[in-house]
Chain A
């Protein structure tokens, strides 16, 4: 799936300080019936964003005007647990977000994000708390996510923390490449391997 390159992103952020947010919340199963990848933003956090009658829930952070247009979501610990549905990562991207920050991600969600151009940034619990506090004190707080130097910084105070990403995935994000490009290039090696499998 082609996506825009990711280098340095400076943006305000939506805060969602709730633990164990599962992908059923990010996009409920009843919205997985599409056969094409488009418009998943509409049902992003559907049941937390909207009342049953379709009106927006005013106090939900994604609906607050003050955060509108943010490209970063700061989520609680164990973000993206549960179902492997990549639709969750698509809905993050389609909503206009390019980065999710959390003190811990579920594995499959993290992989899915990396495959669709959303950078998952894992920070310490202390730094996550610092981000939530800064956003609460000033909703217009800017956060700088620098992929080349692997750092995330609170712009106003300069407080910063580095994050891990393996070099291969980092190169992919910086260049907008994906794994299929890589794998198709070594197809000969794969077919040779397959020929020797016992079953």
Chain B
């Protein structure tokens, strides 16, 4: 029978199906970080359980970590406490741990693939919704809660009902200045923030086939923003090329055996999805959001839609625009901005820094703009330096910071002040997401760079030609 990629990976991980209930679902790789794991370890210990497969668990510190002076003790006592707890728990239970200062440290969804922990056909979970990122490799990867973190630590399984399957096809050629981030924001704007609730998404079509692994990670990362449990893309030669030789990937005969399996990981001709959508690459522009959820996005040159023209509650829509201090019919181009954030598990990889630099090279940062450029990992920092991007950044008046989640969720000191407007390459524009009262416009690294240079929301295409 013709089956989907999703079915193949899911079904091969079902230990047992519970009558009128969820599946007992086996997890190959488990990432933990300092924020959502301490209570799970307390639960584990209070029940007298141990970690069943410590070698399948990987710990990194990212959410709380400062992005300057990482060689000094962490000043925020509560953050330091969580970081200590992660290190202590990892050591006690035999889990590998990349704390602050470790060469492998960085954002969990950046360092996982970098180290070859993320593999095709694997199941991957983490107490973080953007675990969907790892679906770019043809893995089933999704975010879980802390109770489930405890479950995976103590049993390597979770109880999970199988989601429905959706396929999103995007075909054609992307235009100038249109990046994977724009493709994702475009899809979310069509689907709304709940359009894929209850589904797992496969992305297919030549746009994703042509995309780099890093671009695919950006797209899968944002799957959660339309309500999907996760998104995935069938592995291909590009995928195998990316993972080959990384520290944790299978080697020698194990590699050959794995390759044999990985090559079967694609949706069969004629396999049925519960629902399918088709989009045309030519319709996608550089995108920007204007509201307080990632579904409230549009082409950067468009005007904010009226409440009546969008689906959903009119009152909720107006409340959102009220928070942003925007009005129906406003153009986004030319709006004065205060902050720019380049980074996060969505856009903190080397290609994002290359894109940013392609715009700012030979130009200067606008004086009134504060910009935080935060690489996703130390390996990204090293690449930035090797490629000389750090010089472009410095000459344009920017400063490169140290890795971490930073102003994506503002758990550390990198907070956008109340009322200030930020162009952010991260994944969420919720009320107060980047700090209480902060206002966020989600966009690609190109839009962020163009806006940082001009000091107002800018269409990057005007600077690329």
- A interface residues (Cβ-Cβ under 8 A, vs B): 1, 17-20, 22, 24-25, 28-30, 32-37, 47, 52, 76-78, 81-87, 89, 104-108, 111-112, 115-116, 166-169, 178-180, 182-184, 186-187, 189-191, 193-194, 197-199
Contact = CB atoms under 8 A, between A and B. Distances in A.
B193 interface: yes
A169 B250 CA distance: 38
Interface residues of B, number: 81
Given A78-B193, A197-B26, 12 more contacts: A30-B411, A33-B411, A85-B145, A86-B145, A86-B146, A108-B143, A111-B144, A189-B24, A190-B15, A198-B261, A199-B119, A199-B258
A106 B24 CA distance: 21
Contacts of A17: 313, 315
Contacts of B157: 183, 190
B229 A37 contact: no
Contacts of B247: none
B154 A184 contact: yes
A85 to B, nearest CB: 7
Nearest to B226: A81
Given A36-B38, A47-B436, A77-B194, A168 B22 contact: yes
A80 B230 CA distance: 16
A81 B227 contact: yes
Contact of A182 (B159, B250, B261): B159
Contact of B15 (A19, A36, A189): A189
Contacts of A29: 63, 409-411, 433
Interface string B361-405: 000000000000000000000000000000000000000000000
24 contacts: A1-B147, A20-B193, A20-B194, A25-B432, A36-B38, A36-B42, A37-B42, A37-B146, A84-B129, A84-B144, A106-B197, A107-B163, A112-B145, A116-B147, A168-B20, A168-B159, A169-B22, A179-B159, A180-B155, A186-B16, A189-B16, A189-B24, A198-B257, A199-B254
B53 interface: yes
Contacts of B129: 82-84, 108
Contacts of B261: 198
B227 A84 contact: no
B227 A78 contact: yes
A193 B20 contact: no
A137 to B, nearest CB: 18
Given A29-B410, A32-B35, A190 B147 contact: no
B319 A18 contact: yes
B64 interface: yes
A36 B436 contact: no
B418 interface: yes
A166 B22 contact: yes
Contacts of B54: none
Contacts of B313: 17-19, 76-77
A179 B78 CA distance: 30
B36 A84 contact: yes
Nearest to B81: A35
